[in-house]
Structure 1
Amino acid sequence: MVSSTKIKSVDFYRKIPRDLTEASLSGAGLSIVAALIMVFLFGMELSSYLEVSTTTAVIVDKSADGDFLRIDFNISFPALSCEFASVDVSDVLGTNRLNITKTVHKFPIDPHLMATGTEFHSGLALHNINHGEETKEELPDGAIPLTSGSFESYTHHFPILVVNFYAPWCYWSNRLKPNWEKAANIIKQRYDPESDGRVLLGSVDCTQEAALCRKNHVQGYPSIRIFRKGSDLREDHGHHEHESYYGDRDTDSIVKMVDGLVAPIHPETHAVALDGISNDTVKHLKKAPVTGGCRVEGFVRVKKVPGNLVISAHSGAHSFDSSQMNMSHVVSHLSFGRMISPRLLTDMKRLLPYLGQSHDRLDGKAFINQHEFGANVTIEHYLQIVKAEVITRRSSEEHSLIEEYEYTAHSSVAHTYYLPVAKFHFELSPMQILITENPKSFSHFITNLCAIIGGVFTVAGILDSIFHNTVRLIKKVELGKNI
């Protein structure tokens, strides 16, 4: 066995007996100063170790062919009804998607942008409508022309008032007119207004009664509305809560719809039966908008090529007066790219100083058309988008931490001969910003920490030795002079 004496011979740190050492006041002071310097330098080194250094480079966008870009939005339109609000997407490759509904939600709002009801679901109501055979046959007027002066008296007199809000210049209104008049004559004979008095069909010319149409938030022509006597009257300047009919517009369908509305009403007392309206009628009726605004929110996915996100009034069976459409809007939120998870959001706060912080450039901004009733004004936004990708090396394997899409925005208001829209034209830069994190290794931190302790300890020892020998030398010189 190796003796303990031989093991002790390799001791690098041989000890001096305490009786042979001497403590001094100067040494104690220098030791305290050295300890404070060590603590200070340790804090500086620890801060440097925890701090993330980054390098930034501009490179060609590495997105793979076929990648899609997500656009999240929340935009309020005080003068666009949810009844016709449509979100469309197009791009330079020929993609053209109209009236996206799967990932888009619409909520009616008032002029102050406050919600006035639950989510509006249009479904297939505005498409694939049967208009009947087109005819130029002249039929006697069966529907009663209504005006602002007579409208209220009719709504209070008849339990059911079915009104066609139309415009003489509208193709779809002219297509509906013969079927509407024929249906009105059939209903008049079946439910005589004098003896029966349960239902009446009327018509409103919105070019002559513009105020009445605006009061009932009619934005597309023709609009068939059902007004019920009594409980539907609100204390809101006499405005009626009523329903819209979105079913087929041929004569038989209109008559069947009216029969379904009248059936529950007793012909003498005008009391409503308990069984209510038939399901066949209800499925084509929806609550009409009580306000003329709409908040459109949701997301769409687009190809990473120049394109357009367009919000406008759209219908396959209605016409719109472009001079009356007002596309003023307030952007609550507009962003590009995937939604950031809470975990990544924490890292993003650390990385924000290295990003441009322009991913919400339009948020909270209002774009208001000052012209009365719209006056054919389109509001456009030109967005230039740049991708910023952050790479982290905090783990053993390099991985992407976050993809951030920043954009610049330029907006303009322009007159148009076509239907006004709110257009967001987006174009992605072919270059991207690559931000790489370069954290310091733990071994580097330990090495520097040892260097700090050993260096300060050594320097302090040298200074103490110099000071101690200087004092001894001075004392010897003074002693020699005295002798």
Structure 2
Amino acid sequence: MISTSKLKSVDFYRKIPRDLTEASLSGAGLSIVAALSIMFLFGMELNDYLTVSTTTSIVVDKSRDGEFMRIDFNISFPALSCEFASVDVSDILGTNRLNITKTIRKFSIDPNLKPTGSEFHAGPIPILNNHGDEIEEEYGEDSVRLTGRTFDHYSHQHAILVVNFYAPWCYWSNRLRPSWEKASKIIRERYEPEVDGRILMAKVDCTEEVELCRRKHIQAYPSIRIYRKGSDIRENHGHHDHESYYGDRDTESLVAAMETLVAPVPMESTLSSKDQSNSTADSAKRPAPKSGGCRIEGFVRVKKVPGNLVISAHSGAHSFDPSQINVSHYISHFSFGKKLSARTLSELKRLIPYLGGSHDRLAGQSYMTSHDDTNANVTIEHYVQVVKTEVISSRYSQEHKLLEEYEYTAHSSLVHSLYIPAVKFHYEPAPMQVLVTEVPKSLSHFVTNLCAIIGGVFTVAGILDSILHNTIRLMKKVELGKHI
């Protein structure tokens, strides 16, 4: 068994008795400085150990989302009606999807981008099996021609006012004209305005009454609007409740629709508009937007090839005046790829700065044009180049070790065109992707650096203390020798 004295002989840190040591002010000062230096360097080393270190590389896109990617957006159009706003997608492979509605929501807004009601539900548009009578047949002018001065007078006089907003140059308006006049004559004979007065069929020429049509948010021709008089006048600041008619446009169908409208209205016209609307539900009618703007939000899934996302006014049975269509818009959100869950964001929030912050570059951008002759027929185009970015972390489980995001650059321009104005997002996914990999820090390296810091500072402080102490002693000896 090894004796205690032999064991003590291997002591590397032999102690000097305290009585043989001498404390000094210079040594105390250096000790304090050394301790503070050790604490500062320890903090710097710890911060470096905890800081994320990454390497970046460019590789062929082999991301897990396959051949499709998702486009999320929230865009407000102060001058494009929800009634005709259409979201279309196409790509270079021949894909062409028109008027996507399943994953899209629309909300009517005013010119200040404030919502004017609940979600706008367009509903299915009936197929127009019959569209107007033969133009060759004779017809008269039996519908009442309304102007900006007479519109309010007639709308307050009749319980139901059905108005055809048309344009003489419009093909569909001319197809509708014979059947509209014939139906007006039949309804006038059955419900004489002087005797009955519950319903009146009228028309407005939007090329002459431009301001009236703009005030009624007419953006396509012909637009058949049904205005009801009732309690809604007081509740909606004097505006009548109104719907759009989307049924067949031949005389028989129009007369049948008018009969359905007038049936629940008593001769005294005292039935409230709420009761009327409950009694006249029909697939050929649907609520018309109360304002001329629309906020469109939702998402679409597209193939990862160059393509276009187009938002414009669209209808298979209406004509549009390109000079009256304004696609000014404000982008609240526009991004590619799936949204990350709150849990994933919470666990990987320290890695988010390495994504670059370009996943929603168009957010908050406004593209507004005034509606005058110089800004008519303006299409706004956005050219978007998309690149996939992946951040791989080694600190989490397989489920949360990967953070994926699409980043993009965007360039926008205004283009004058003879066609109906639209907003076009031309997107082009890159075939390569950016791969950011987290480089883990070595714990042994961290501990080694700590030992080097402590030992180095202690040694340097000891050397400085020795030099300072010997210098002071030497100065004292020199001073003592002078006195002697």
Q: What range describes the TM-score normalised by the shorter chain of this pair?
A: 0.7 to 0.9
Identity of aligned residues (%): 63
Name the TM-score, length of structure 1 as normaliser: 0.86
Q: Distance in 1 between matches of 2:476 and 2:278?
A: 120
Alignment of 1:210-221 (within 5 A): 210-221=210-221
Q: Distance in 1 between matches of 2:259 and 2:277?
A: 10
Q: CA deviation at 1:390?
A: 1.7
Q: Which residue of 1 aligns with 2:414?
A: 413
Deviates most, 417-426 or 354-363: 354-363
Q: CA deviation at 1:404?
A: 2.8
Q: Distance in 1 between matches of 2:382 and 2:315?
A: 24
Q: Return closer, same or farther for 1:263/1:206 CA change in 2, 3 Å cut-off.
A: same
Q: CA deviation at 1:152?
A: 2.6
Q: Distance in 2 between matches of 1:396 and 1:371?
A: 55
Q: Return closer, same or farther for 1:369/1:28 CA change in 2, 3 Å cut-off.
A: closer
Q: Which residue of 1 aligns with 2:384?
A: 383
Q: Distance in 1 between matches of 2:194 and 2:476?
A: 135
Deviates most, 217-226 or 384-393: 384-393
Alignment of 1:350-429 (within 5 A): 350-351=350-351, 354-372=354-372, 375-395=376-396, 400-429=401-430
The answer (yes or no) to whether the contact 2:167–2:205 under 8 Å persists in 1 is yes
Q: Which residue of 2 aligns with 1:270?
A: 269
Q: Return closer, same or farther for 1:21/1:398 CA change in 2, 3 Å cut-off.
A: farther
Q: Which residue of 2 aligns with 1:291?
A: 291
Does residue 432 of the first structure (1) align with residue 421 of the second (2)? no
Q: CA deviation at 1:80?
A: 0.6
Q: CA deviation at 1:90?
A: 0.9
Q: Distance in 2 between matches of 1:14 and 1:443?
A: 25
Q: Which residue of 1 aligns with 2:208?
A: 208
Residue identity in the other structure for 2:390 = E
Deviates most, 366-375 or 407-416: 366-375
The answer (yes or no) to whether the contact 1:260–1:277 under 8 Å persists in 2 is no
Q: Distance in 1 between matches of 2:277 and 2:462?
A: 101
Structure 2 unaligned regions, length at least 5: none
Residue identity in the other structure for 2:85 = A
Q: Distance in 1 between matches of 2:425 and 2:357?
A: 20
The answer (yes or no) to whether the contact 1:165–1:224 under 8 Å persists in 2 is yes
Instruction: Give secondary structure in 1 for the equivalent of 2:150.
Output: helix
The answer (yes or no) to whether the contact 2:132–2:249 under 8 Å persists in 1 is no
Q: Which residue of 1 aligns with 2:189?
A: 189
Q: Which residue of 1 aligns with 2:168?
A: 168
Alignment of 1:87-126 (within 5 A): 87-125=87-125
Residue identity in the other structure for 1:325 = I
The answer (yes or no) to whether the contact 2:147–2:209 under 8 Å persists in 1 is yes
Q: Return closer, same or farther for 1:265/1:439 CA change in 2, 3 Å cut-off.
A: same
Instruction: Give secondary structure in 2 for the equivalent of 1:117.
Output: strand
Deviates most, 393-402 or 98-107: 393-402
Q: Return closer, same or farther for 1:201/1:176 CA change in 2, 3 Å cut-off.
A: same
Q: Return closer, same or farther for 1:10/1:139 CA change in 2, 3 Å cut-off.
A: farther
Q: Distance in 2 between matches of 1:456 and 1:396?
A: 40
Q: Distance in 2 between matches of 1:398 and 1:375?
A: 52
Q: Distance in 2 between matches of 1:153 and 1:461?
A: 102
Q: Distance in 2 between matches of 1:470 and 1:65?
A: 73
The answer (yes or no) to whether the contact 2:229–2:240 under 8 Å persists in 1 is no
Q: CA deviation at 1:187?
A: 2.0
Q: Distance in 1 between matches of 2:305 and 2:192?
A: 62
Q: Return closer, same or farther for 1:28/1:217 CA change in 2, 3 Å cut-off.
A: closer
Q: Distance in 1 between matches of 2:482 and 2:197?
A: 139
Q: CA deviation at 1:424?
A: 1.0
Q: Return closer, same or farther for 1:211/1:19 CA change in 2, 3 Å cut-off.
A: closer
The answer (yes or no) to whether the contact 1:376–1:418 under 8 Å persists in 2 is yes
Q: Return closer, same or farther for 1:351/1:98 CA change in 2, 3 Å cut-off.
A: same
Q: Return closer, same or farther for 1:292/1:371 CA change in 2, 3 Å cut-off.
A: closer
The answer (yes or no) to whether the contact 2:77–2:329 under 8 Å persists in 1 is yes
Q: Distance in 2 between matches of 1:257 and 1:190?
A: 14
Instruction: Give secondary structure in 2 for the equivalent of 1:320.
Output: coil
The answer (yes or no) to whether the contact 1:215–1:239 under 8 Å persists in 2 is no
Q: Distance in 1 between matches of 2:73 and 2:142?
A: 47
How far does the alpha carbon of each residue in 1:45-99 deviate from its partner, in whole angstroms, 9 at most, with x for none? 1121112222222333233684322222221111111111111111111111111
Q: Which residue of 2 aligns with 1:35?
A: 35
Aligned length: 480
How far does the alpha carbon of each residue in 1:416-438 deviate from its partner, in whole angstroms, 9 at most, with x for none? 12211111111122232222222
Q: Return closer, same or farther for 1:27/1:263 CA change in 2, 3 Å cut-off.
A: same
Q: Distance in 1 between matches of 2:269 and 2:294?
A: 36
Deviates most, 8-17 or 282-291: 8-17
Deviates most, 378-387 or 201-210: 201-210
Name the TM-score, length of structure 2 as normaliser: 0.86
Does residue 454 of the first structure (1) align with residue 455 of the second (2)? yes
Residue identity in the other structure for 1:151 = F
Alignment of 1:140-151 (within 5 A): 140-151=140-151
Q: Which residue of 2 aligns with 1:80?
A: 80
The answer (yes or no) to whether the contact 2:27–2:465 under 8 Å persists in 1 is yes
Q: Which residue of 2 aligns with 1:135?
A: 134
Q: Distance in 2 between matches of 1:280 and 1:313?
A: 28
Residue identity in the other structure for 2:227 = F
Q: Which residue of 2 aligns with 1:61?
A: 61
Instruction: Give secondary structure in 2 for the equivalent of 1:294.
Output: strand
Q: Which residue of 1 aligns with 2:248?
A: 248
Instruction: Give secondary structure in 1 for the equivalent of 2:36.
Output: helix
Instruction: Give secondary structure in 1 for the equivalent of 2:296.
Output: strand
Instruction: Give secondary structure in 2 for the equivalent of 1:369.
Output: coil
Q: Distance in 2 between matches of 1:424 and 1:328?
A: 14
How far does the alpha carbon of each residue in 1:179-212 deviate from its partner, in whole angstroms, 9 at most, with x for none? 3233323322322223222111112222232222
Coordinate RMSD, CA, aligned: 3.6
Q: CA deviation at 1:405?
A: 2.3
Q: Distance in 1 between matches of 2:58 and 2:71?
A: 24
The answer (yes or no) to whether the contact 2:133–2:179 under 8 Å persists in 1 is no
The answer (yes or no) to whether the contact 1:260–1:281 under 8 Å persists in 2 is no
Residue identity in the other structure for 1:405 = Y
Q: CA deviation at 1:330?
A: 1.7
Instruction: Give secondary structure in 2 for the equivalent of 1:175.
Output: helix
Residue identity in the other structure for 2:452 = A
